[in-house]
Amino acid sequence: MQFSSTTIHFNSIKQLDPETLVCMVSNSGINCWKIEKDQTWTKINDFRTLDKFEAEMGNLKHWKKISLVNGESLTRYYKNAKNYPNVAYIVEPTKEFHNCITKKPHLFENYYTKNPYKEIHDRLPELKGIF
């Protein structure tokens, strides 16, 4: 079954900002990527332990936990999903998403983001896009 709109199940669907750092925590360690301007993911490093990760990338408590969904999987379930090309999007699932018994896209929930320029962008928003 295809739903008429992604808004039925999500509060928001938004692209990851360029320059954002993304990490995925799993049993085998922590993988890190940087989001480029064209939305490609460039692998930075793999860390086998949390200690090694935090020594180089900072305390994981300072990273924001996110849920991601793949744009390609959205096209299988939502009629307006052609608006979302095949890249990963941050999503905020609604209560309807969790309560829905119909088949739905898989969310990837072990991901965290960190924007190293967030503080300066908050103070000087005109610098967004420059770095």
In DSSP terms, 90 is beta-bridged to 14, 68
* pLDDT for the residue 83: 85
How far is Cα 123 from Cα 61, in angstroms, rounded to an integer? 22
Does 129 fall in a domain? no
Taking a C-beta distance cutoff of 8 angstroms, is the pair 99, 1 a contact?
no
* pLDDT for the residue 115: 73
What's the mean pLDDT in 98-126? 81
- How many separate domains does the chain show? 1
Does 11 fall in a domain? yes
What's the mean pLDDT in 99-106? 90
Taking a C-beta distance cutoff of 8 angstroms, is the pair 39, 54 a contact?
no
* Whether the predicted pLDDT of 54 surpasses 60: yes
Q: How confident is the model at residue 92 (pLDDT cuts 50, 70, 90)?
A: very high
Does 79 fall in a domain? yes
In DSSP terms, 52 is beta-bridged to none
Range of 65's domain?
6-118
Nearest residue to 91 (alpha-carbon basis) of 75, 103, 104, 108 = 108
Does 128 fall in a domain? no
Q: How confident is the model at residue 1 (pLDDT cuts 50, 70, 90)?
A: low
Does 33 fall in a domain? yes
Q: How confident is the model at residue 87 (pLDDT cuts 50, 70, 90)?
A: confident
Q: Tell me the pLDDT tens digit for each residue of 3-36.
A: 888 998 999 999 998 889 999 999 889 999 999 9
Does 86 fall in a domain? yes
Does 126 fall in a domain? no
Does 125 fall in a domain? no
Looking at the chain, the whole-number percentage of residues with pLDDT higher than 70 is: 89
Q: What is the pTM of this model?
A: 0.79
